[in-house]
Amino acid sequence: MRHIIAFTGGLACVTDLIDIKDRLIAFARGLGIEAVGVTAAAPFDAEEEHLRRLVETGLECPFAAGGPLERCRPESLLPGARSIICAAVPYLRPFPRPDAADRRRVAPGWRGEVSRYAWGPDYHRVVREKLERLAAFLDEAAPGTAHRVMVDTTPLLERAAARRAGLGRIGKNCCLITPGYGSWVFLGEVVTTLDLPPDPPLPDPDPCGDCDLCLRACPTGALTAPGVLDHRCCLAYLTQAGEPIPREVRPALGRRVWGCDTCQAVCPHNRRLAGPPGAVDPVDLDQAPPPLLSLLAMTRARFLATFGTTAAAWRGPRPLRRNALVALGNTGRREAVPVLAAALAGPRADLRLHAAWALGRIGGGEARAALRSALARETDAAVREEIRLALRGGDDRRWSAGIARKCCKNGPKD
């Protein structure tokens, strides 16, 4: 019996659906979507059970949208859903190299680190625009069908859908690893009522074998087991969370001011990869490795001009300023003391707290004098405690991933 589906203008048989899918994939690649796959909009039963366990144990990331039922039942997101079109857009770009003039403007070591996904235009907008065009293609190819575009902030389990659609396999670092582009890909989906022929998952679901480089390289030990991430210790989460960064984790932050790429950077699948096809705009040196001092002095208008179109904008300027304070402390540079002392006299208690830690981290007579002066006027209890710890040498530069994990068991909730 032929597989048929009704849409305005008549019935489509399997041959018609295969033709639509072939044309859809060709159209997608013309948009810069290098990998496209289709899977049935069936429930993700195993993943739903896993999510329920995460919720029960407190390991579910607060940034995740929706509950286990919503995230694992595509039809709850689009009534009558039959297929999920999964897309992967590569974003690997080379590290920007400051020229001589820029090195004179900002000396080496005074720049922060930003995760690659936040270099350039916000991927939510970029990928959504591409997928909206795919949905428009489907409207024309199959009138009367319904579609819903999803990118990151919607409940659907993107990596699970992409794996089932044959785009890649999920590694021990919890990332989807795609052939040819590794894990440096943005994911997005079009859920549709059109019953397109599905693609099979890739053979051999384990891409890692005996390799555990990501687990060993994670700065805080947040990868507690293969495929298990404790977000409460993860620097990618903590740099975006609204609460103070746990004291024991701050040394591990290094000069990171947004996100963390360590578990991807060490992955053997991410070596010797091609970048996105076509011309790539140069990275803005005030965005990708931003000057730490500029982050502290940044007005809201300047923040919007520099980061407003990137994926680092959604939390506003405060997390970047907080993270820059920690990063300055981690530089160990005495030249940063006057700037940190000024932040310790600022109006925001959360920033004063991290400035106090940074001064204690750097140490020295000038830093201690600034801390003693601040203690005499400080009224916030948490900041006063941070200042006391800094004056007592509360951060003695000893740190380990085990300490970080212990600290983060009751880590910040957002």
Tell the residue number behind the tokens 């032929």, with chain if given.
2
Q: Is 195 a catalytic residue?
A: no
Query: pTM, whole model, 2 decimals?
Result: 0.87
Query: Does residue 132 surpass a pLDDT of 90?
Result: yes
Structure tokens at 295: 């982050």
Which residues partner with 187 through β-bridges?
Answer: 88
Per-residue pLDDT band at 413 (split at 50, 70, 90) = very low
Query: Does residue 151 surpass a pLDDT of 70?
Result: yes
* 283 and 119 Cβ atoms separated by less than 8 Å: yes
Which region among 31-40, 86-95, 118-127, 259-268 has the lowest average model confidence (pLDDT)?
86-95
User: Which one is predicted more confidently, 70 or 173?
Assistant: 173
Which region among 58-62, 228-232, 296-300, 374-378 has the lowest average model confidence (pLDDT)?
58-62
Q: Please give the pLDDT value at position 1.
A: 27
> 220-259+291-408: what fold?
Leucine-rich Repeat Variant (1.25.10)
Residue 46 neighbours by CB distance under 10 Å: 10
Question: In terms of C-beta density within 10 A (0-12 exposed, 13-18 middle, 19 or more buried), how is residue 60 classed?
Answer: middle
Structure tokens at 116: 């690659």
Sign of CA dihedral 45, 47, 50, 51: negative
Domain ranges, ordered by start, for the chain? 5-192, 220-259+291-408
Q: Tell me the mean pLDDT in the region 404-410.
A: 52
Radius of gyration of the chain (CA): 24
Query: Does residue 164 surpass a pLDDT of 50?
Result: yes
Q: Tell me the mean pLDDT in the region 182-199.
A: 96
Q: For 219-274, what is each residue's pLDDT tens digit?
A: 999 999 999 999 999 999 999 999 999 999 999 999 999 999 999 999 999 987 86
Tell the residue number behind the tokens 């407190």, with chain if given.
58
Q: Please give the pLDDT value at position 274.
A: 65
Query: Does residue 68 surpass a pLDDT of 90?
Result: no
Q: Please give the pLDDT value at position 329.
A: 97
* 298 and 306 Cβ atoms separated by less than 8 Å: yes
User: Which one is predicted more confidently, 154 or 320?
Assistant: 320
Q: Tell me the mean pLDDT in the region 267-295.
A: 77
User: What distance in Å separates the CA atoms of residue 106 and residue 3, rounded to the nearest whole number?
Assistant: 64
User: What distance in Å separates the CA atoms of residue 198 and residue 41, rounded to the nearest whole number?
Assistant: 10
Per-residue pLDDT band at 284 (split at 50, 70, 90) = confident
Structure tokens at 182: 């590794």
Select which of 122, 152, 195, 395 is catalytic.
152
Q: What is the 3-state secondary structure (H, E, C) of 106-119?
A: CCCCCECEECHHHC
Per-residue pLDDT band at 389 (split at 50, 70, 90) = very high
